[in-house]
Copies of this chain bind each other. A is one copy, B any other.
Amino acid sequence: MKISARNILKGKVKQVKHGMVDTEVDIELPGGIEIVSVITKYSAENLKLKEGKDVYAVIKASNVMIMVE
């Protein structure tokens, strides 16, 4: 299975916080970098997300902005 999104980052779920409609998922990448994702609660349950689970963070290149100091 392959997807057109350019960034597919392997990590582990660090924390899952359910709201009523949305769920916040903290993902830890190798090297200790953390990425926060907000998906629907429906999807979080459907993917059976829980602490420690192996996941991929999937991000389209056009959704990555760049900031400089």
Contacts and interface: CB of A to CB of B under 8 A. Distances in A.
The residue in A1, A24, A36, A55 that gathers the most chain B C-beta atoms within 10 A of its C-beta is A36
Interface in A35-67: 35-40, 42-44, 46-49, 53-67
Contacts of A64: 27, 35-38, 57-59
The interface centre, meaning the residue of A42, A44, A49 with most chain B CB atoms within 10 A of its CB, is A42
Interface in A1-60: 1-9, 19-22, 24-25, 27, 29-33, 35-40, 42-44, 46-49, 53-60
Interface of A: 1-9, 19-22, 24-25, 27, 29-33, 35-40, 42-44, 46-49, 53-69
